[in-house]
């Protein structure tokens, strides 16, 4: 004998109970409206790092967070961040996130400008035309190059997370999403050992931090993009995307969808996880 299926109201009420949303009998919202409210970020304040490129992953995530209702602050290393901020009604900041003192100053400035941060997206560190990856085999890799890759890809995530996680835990709600990569997490390519090691480190940081704040209402997750078409994509990278299972590279908007899923109030039972966004490429041996 089949078990009776729960009604839509029962489903929504089950989620509402754990994320403090009014139950079905307490408001005029339709079922669709209540489901949308489950994922609404209205009243939340988000910080997205590495959002200076108009066609990059950081900007796509910031845009989607705004569409979800969040107040958004964005950061990059150059003044072009103010152009991006104007495009999505965000607040822009310039900072070198590999510098401990600058991260501390950024934290104070963001709180003064927009309030206590509820959501952190650690996207800083991905390569760009002005800051390309170090591509050298290990035997030819200088210690300076090694440290540079770890600094911009792993240190940034650590410093920014450390600056904001304790206030989140004290308030009992928070989301941290780290942007890793498939390199070092599910695969690797020759001559990119430093980058792969740094991104693998990002997932390790994600899991460790998740265990530290799991009882405080703060979730910590990561996304691992594969070949994504951005302004910094090279022709060989785009060709690899065309050769993948889906016959195309991914888009920043597809990565943003995964990142913002982790930010939703209804994703409150997901922590310490890494979501691969690579169009199935990592499934191939």
pLDDT in tens, 122-134: 999 855 545 566 8
pTM above 0.85, yes or no: yes
Answer whether residue 10 shows pLDDT above 80: no
Q: Give residue 29's pLDDT band: very low, low, confident or very high (50, 70, 90).
A: low
More confident residue, 38 or 156: 156
Six-digit token string for 154: 């792993």
Answer whether residue 34 shows pLDDT above 90: no
**Interior/surface letters 93-121, b for 16+ CB within 10 angstroms, e for the rest:** bebbbbeeebbeebbeebbeebeebbbbb
pLDDT of residue 11: 53
Answer whether residue 9 shows pLDDT above 70: no
Q: What is the pLDDT of residues 240-258, one digit of tens each?
A: 999 999 999 999 999 999 9
Answer whether residue 2 shows pLDDT above 80: no
Task: Please calculate the CA angle 238-125-245 and round it to the nearest 5 degrees.
Answer: 30
How much is the mean pLDDT over the chain?
90
Distance CA 222, CA 177 (A): 5
Neighbours of 51 (CB within 10 A): 31
Nearest-CA neighbor of 114 among 164, 41, 174, 47? 47
pLDDT of residue 257: 98
> In this structure, are residues 35 and 262 in contact, taking their beta carbons and an 8 Å threshold?
no
Q: Any residues with CB less than 8 A from the CB of 226 and at least 6 apart, and which?
A: 181, 182, 244, 250, 276, 277, 278, 279, 281, 282
Nearest-CA neighbor of 138 among 201, 197, 192? 192
pLDDT of residue 127: 55
Q: What is the pLDDT of residues 181-194, one digit of tens each?
A: 999 999 998 999 99
Out of 27-31, 101-105, 190-194, 269-273, least confident range: 27-31
> In this structure, are residues 128 and 237 in contact, taking their beta carbons and an 8 Å threshold?
no
Distance between start and end Cα atoms, the chain:
43
Q: What is the pLDDT of residues 64-99, one digit of tens each?
A: 999 999 999 999 999 999 999 999 999 999 999 999
- The residue annotated as part of the active site, out of 93, 158, 164, 195, is 195
Active-site residue flag, 195:
yes
pLDDT of residue 37: 79
């Amino acid at each position: 004998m089949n078990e009776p299926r729960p009604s839509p109201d029962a489903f929504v009420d089950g989620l509402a109970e754990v994320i403090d949303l009014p139950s079905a009998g307490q408001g005029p919202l339709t079922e669709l409206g209540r489901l949308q409210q489950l994922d609404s970020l209205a009243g939340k304040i988000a910080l997205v790092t590495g959002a200076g490129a108009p066609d990059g992953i950081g900007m796509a995530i910031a845009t989607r967070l705004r569409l979800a209702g969040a107040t958004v602050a964005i950061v990059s290393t150059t003044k072009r961040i103010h152009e991006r901020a104007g495009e999505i009604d965000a607040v822009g900041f310039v900072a070198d996130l590999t510098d401990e003192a600058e991260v501390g100053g950024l934290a104070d400035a963001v709180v003064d400008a927009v309030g206590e941060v509820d959501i952190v997206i650690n996207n800083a560190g991905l390569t760009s035309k002005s800051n390309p990856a170090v591509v050298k085999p290990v035997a030819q890799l200088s210690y300076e190059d090694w440290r540079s890759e770890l600094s911009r890809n792993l240190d940034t995530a650590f410093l920014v997370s450390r600056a904001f996680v304790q206030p989140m835990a004290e308030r009992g709600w928070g989301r941290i999403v780290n942007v890793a990569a498939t390199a070092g997490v599910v695969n690797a390519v020759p001559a990119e050992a430093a980058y792969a090691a740094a991104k693998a480190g990002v997932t390790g940081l994600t899991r460790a931090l998740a265990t530290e704040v799991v009882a405080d209402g703060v979730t910590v997750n990561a996304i691992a993009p594969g070949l994504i078409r951005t302004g910094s994509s090279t022709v060989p990278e785009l060709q690899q995307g065309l050769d993948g299972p889906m016959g195309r590279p991914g888009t920043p908007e597809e990565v943003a969808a995964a990142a913002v899923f982790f930010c939703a109030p209804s994703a409150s039972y997901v922590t310490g996880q890494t979501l691969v966004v690579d169009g199935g490429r990592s499934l191939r041996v």
